[in-house]
């Protein structure tokens, strides 16, 4: 008999690991997949275009149900695993089904952070995490009215943009003093705010949400300063939390998330974990690129080709909303020893800021003109010496290429 691999989580991280495993040895395991949602695996990154009307559900599906049958995978969709019995090496699903494993892969992802405030369970309060959330927002948009999006990060801005396109009056509420403050510096955040306001979105910064008011459903959002906004829909997009309850209850070592080593193995050598539910060397993950690399490394070890190690690398974020292009890569905060190269052209809406440590680029923020973003990111990843063209670095690859 083949060894049994059970995958808990039918999302992008778990199924990408299965894809990578099939590239190495498609016949090695008897595979069973459990998913909380009642359908195949889809691309969560494309939920925003789905909400905006640029995609339909079929277009964002990565693995429809037929794919699992074609590849000999047993899929239990809509039947999440509730318990892991490590002593017996079985998982127990909500239906009562038990599935034994020789290797177990946890890909339980994350859950939206819901502000712990009064009224957060009222009808009309929704996260932005899955197809059900999108359906809820679309139903609200068909009624028109006002939407309040709590969270001025990447996900919140994409949700706000999509709801505006659907005809709602949208206000973005952000607790920090600048939008996308994890990826952008203050100047870039101000340019982004100006662009979004010109496109018809209202932006509230330094806003501390204290209560969601309503009786039968959402009626308003109240703030710590006593002010309030009328609302027919409230979208919680204030971040996510690693979904670690299953691993913690099973006795796996967890801190902020399920702790894994460089092979994506947990403290139990039979159990691996990938994606947003893991913590590697104190870091957790929310972007696609590091999760794809985790999937490659984990699949190699599941296949017995254990020569790979997961190494954290710089990440890049690209956002295009309401006609403004943004690109952020690497360490934009810098250190006491770092230097900055800055280009500002407010008339054309172009802003570039490069962070350097010695002769190497360590971070980049681009607004308006992002064509050289991938090139800067490549310089960051390679730790390239830019001293020979440092004086032209802000003007892009075309002017620097002859010097290289």
List, for residues 189-231, the tens digit of each pLDDT value.
888 898 899 889 999 999 999 999 999 999 999 999 999 999 9
pLDDT band, very low/low/confident/very high, at 404 (cuts 50, 70, 90): very low
The candidate with the shortest Cα–Cα distance to 187, out of 367, 322, 35, is 367
Q: In DSSP terms, which residues pair with 111 in a beta bridge?
A: 241
pTM comes to: 0.89
The larger pLDDT score, comparing residue 286 to residue 175, is at 175
* pLDDT for the residue numbered 321: 66
Tell me: pLDDT of 333 over 80.
Answer: yes
- Reported confidence tier of residue 322, pLDDT bands at 50, 70, 90: low
Rounded to the nearest 10 degrees, the angle between the axes of helix 154-165 and helix 131-142 is: 40
C-beta of residue 14 within 8 angstroms of C-beta of residue 42: no
Q: Give φ, ψ of 321 to 5 degrees.
A: -135, 130
**What is the pLDDT, as a whole number, of residue 324?**
77
**With bands split at pLDDT 50, 70 and 90, how would you rate the model's confidence at 331?**
confident
**Taking 90 as the threshold, does the pLDDT of residue 232 lie above it?**
yes
pLDDT of residue 305: 84
**Average pLDDT of the segment spanning 85-99:** 97
Residue 121: is its pLDDT beyond 90? yes
């Amino acid at each position: 008999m083949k060894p049994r691999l059970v995958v808990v989580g039918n999302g992008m991280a778990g199924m990408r690991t299965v894809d990578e495993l099939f590239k190495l040895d498609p016949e090695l395991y008897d595979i069973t997949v459990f998913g909380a949602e009642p359908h195949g695996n889809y691309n969560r990154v494309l939920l925003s275009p789905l909400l905006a009307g640029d995609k339909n559900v079929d277009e964002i599906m990565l693995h429809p149900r037929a794919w699992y049958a074609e590849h000999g995978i047993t899929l239990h969709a809509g039947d999440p695993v509730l318990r892991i019995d490590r002593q017996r090496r079985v998982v127990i699903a909500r239906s009562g089904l038990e599935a034994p494993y020789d290797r177990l892969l946890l890909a339980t992802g994350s859950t939206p952070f819901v502000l712990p405030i009064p009224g957060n369970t009222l009808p009309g309060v929704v996260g932005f995490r899955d197809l059900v959330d999108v359906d809820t927002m679309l139903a609200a948009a068909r009624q028109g009215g006002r939407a309040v999006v709590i969270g001025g990060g990447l996900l919140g801005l994409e949700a706000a943009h999509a709801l505006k396109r659907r005809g709602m009056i949208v206000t973005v509420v952000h607790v920090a003093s600048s939008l996308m403050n994890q990826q952008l510096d203050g100047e870039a955040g101000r340019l982004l705010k100006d662009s979004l306001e010109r496109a018809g979105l209202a932006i509230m910064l330094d806003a501390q949400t204290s209560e969601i008011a309503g009786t039968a459903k959402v009626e308003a959002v109240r703030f710590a300063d006593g002010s309030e906004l009328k609302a027919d829909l409230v979208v919680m997009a204030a971040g996510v939390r690693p979904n670690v309850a299953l691993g913690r209850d099973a006795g796996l070592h967890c801190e902020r998330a399920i702790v894994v080593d460089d092979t994506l193995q947990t403290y139990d050598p039979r159990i691996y974990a990938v994606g947003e539910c893991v913590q590697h060397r104190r870091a957790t993950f929310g972007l696609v690129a590091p999760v794809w690399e985790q999937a490659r490394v984990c699949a190699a070890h599941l296949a017995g080709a254990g020569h790979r190690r997961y190494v954290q690398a710089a990440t890049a974020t690209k956002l295009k909303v309401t006609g403004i292009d943004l690109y952020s890569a690497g360490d934009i905060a810098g250190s006491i020893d770092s230097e900055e190269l800055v280009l500002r052209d407010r008339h054309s809406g172009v802003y570039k800021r490069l962070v350097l440590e010695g002769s190497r680029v360590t971070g980049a923020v681009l607004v308006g003109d992002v064509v050289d973003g991938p090139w800067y990111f490549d310089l960051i990843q390679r730790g390239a010496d830019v001293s020979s063209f440092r004086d032209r670095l802000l003007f892009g690859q075309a002017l620097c290429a002859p010097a290289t």
